[in-house]
């Protein structure tokens, strides 16, 4: 519904979106964040090596461990897939002036819904199984999208803060799915807290065996391209970006910002749900209790580093996957702890959300 403005146009004191301060701050800013984060990483690793009994071994496994064999390299690439898709979910909401903080619950619930839809297809024919698997992935994505759209609806209807509603709904979903995984859908044949495994003919083909990397990587790359084209070359994508840049001006131009808020949050949640569904069909083959813990926040961090620019999410996700994989391999082969990866991610969060850094890079861009 359009809102009426006085003759002559919208109010002169047009205020941009409250999120525009960190919305697409530019590649220079993103590159600066990565450089500072790498310096922080080097300092942290150096400090860890001082305390380590085998500093050379620690450095080798941290920086080069993910590239030492096909297994480690493939798993690193595989861990970047949910970061790409989740980062796209954050970015598409941000483009429309909203911020979806429900990634954890949306990935988890999307994975669970995809799992329970796929489980009855164990005895289906391969052709039917393919269609059923596709339906399961869509079901997981649609469910997560609907959850996120509820936050968008509350914002559009009652001006509630989508950060709070999406975060609270996410926490509730995690608890509900935990109950279902541990209770009615628990697999009694394993000691893991997990649902039963989906049928072998429903699983995505592997690319680099014996690693867990599957064609989900190719799907994620294709989705990055689709989202970028959608945002840059479609009418709805233009409306999203216009509403995110200046909601008042967008309403004056005839854009239904309320509807677009709901749609943007729906697409955001659907991408998170897709990340969870592909994790089931490509990596875990079932819903493991709290497998998505930390994925939502890591995807947000990757989106911040990428400046909410879809193509930049590919290197940003690989950067985070490299840090996490390096820390995990170094922990397994030396006396360093995995917490160093979380410290670096916290530093990146701090840098990427720093208003001082945004203004500094903005001034440099203005001078040029």
Q: pLDDT digit string (tens) for 227-259?
A: 999 999 999 999 999 988 888 888 888 899 999
* % of the chain exceeding 90 in pLDDT: 52
pLDDT band at 62 (very low <50, low <70, confident <90, very high): confident
CA separation, residue 179 to residues 31, 173, 183, 293, 359 (Å): 42, 10, 6, 16, 46
Q: Which of 197-206, 261-270, 317-326, 335-344 has the highest mean pLDDT?
A: 261-270
Query: Are 299 and 188 in contact, with CB atoms under 8 Å apart?
Result: no
* % of the chain exceeding 70 in pLDDT: 77
CA dihedral of residues 254, 260, 261, 267 (deg, nearest 10): -160
What is the distance between the alpha carbons of residues 227 and 88, in angstroms, rounded to a whole number?
8
Q: Is 315 exposed, middle or buried (0-12, 13-18, 19+ CB in 10 A)?
A: middle
Tell me if the pTM is above 0.85: yes
Pick the more confident residue, 325 or 224: 224
Residue among 92, 117, 96, 150 nearest 268 (CA): 92
What is the distance between the alpha carbons of residues 147 and 235, in angstroms, rounded to a whole number?
25
The per-residue pLDDT of the chain, averaged, comes to 83
Find tokens 């994508």 and name the residue: 237
What is the distance between the alpha carbons of residues 124 and 127, in angstroms, rounded to a whole number?
8
Residue among 111, 86, 122, 19 nearest 294 (CA): 86
What tokens does 261 get? Answer: 């808020």
Q: How open is the CA angle 310-353-14, to the nearest 5 degrees?
A: 80
Q: Is the pLDDT of residue 1 over 50?
A: no
Pick the more confident residue, 124 or 341: 124
């Amino acid at each position: 519904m359009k809102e009426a403005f006085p003759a002559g146009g919208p109010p002169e004191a047009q205020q941009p979106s409250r999120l525009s301060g960190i919305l697409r701050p530019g590649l220079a800013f993103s590159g600066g964040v990565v450089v500072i984060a790498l310096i922080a990483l080097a300092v942290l690793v150096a400090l860890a090596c001082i305390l380590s009994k085998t500093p050379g071994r620690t450095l080798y496994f941290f920086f080069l461990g993910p590239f030492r064999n096909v297994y480690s390299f493939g798993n690193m690439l595989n861990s970047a897939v949910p970061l790409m898709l989740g980062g796209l979910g954050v970015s598409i909401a941000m483009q429309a002036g909203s911020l979806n903080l429900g990634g954890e619950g949306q990935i988890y619930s999307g994975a669970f819904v995809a799992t329970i839809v796929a489980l009855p297809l164990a005895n289906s024919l391969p052709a039917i199984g393919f269609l059923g698997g596709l339906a399961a992935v869509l079901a997981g994505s649609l469910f997560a999208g609907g959850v996120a759209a509820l936050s968008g609806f509350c914002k559009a209807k009652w001006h509630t803060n989508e950060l709070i509603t999406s975060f609270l709904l996410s926490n509730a979903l995690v608890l509900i799915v935990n109950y279902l995984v541990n209770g009615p859908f628990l697999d009694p044949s394993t000691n893991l807290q997990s649902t039963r495994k989906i049928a072998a003919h429903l699983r995505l083909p592997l690319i680099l065996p014996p690693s867990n990397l599957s064609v989900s990587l190719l799907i994620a790359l294709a989705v990055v391209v689709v989202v970028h084209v959608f945002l840059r070359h479609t009418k709805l994508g233009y409306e999203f970006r216009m509403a995110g840049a200046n909601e008042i001006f967008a309403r004056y131009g005839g854009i239904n910002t309320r509807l677009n808020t709901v749609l943007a949050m729906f697409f955001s949640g659907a991408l998170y749900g897709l990340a969870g569904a592909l994790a089931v069909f490509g990596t875990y083959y079932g819903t493991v209790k709290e497998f998505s813990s930390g994925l939502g926040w890591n995807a947000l961090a990757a989106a911040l580093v990428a400046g909410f620019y879809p193509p930049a999410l590919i290197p940003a996700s690989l950067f985070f996957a490299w840090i996490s994989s390096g820390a995990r391999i170094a922990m397994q082969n030396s006396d360093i702890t995995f917490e160093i990866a979380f410290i670096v991610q916290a530093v990146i969060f701090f840098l990427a959300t720093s208003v001082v850094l945004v203004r500094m890079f903005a001034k440099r861009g203005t001078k040029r």
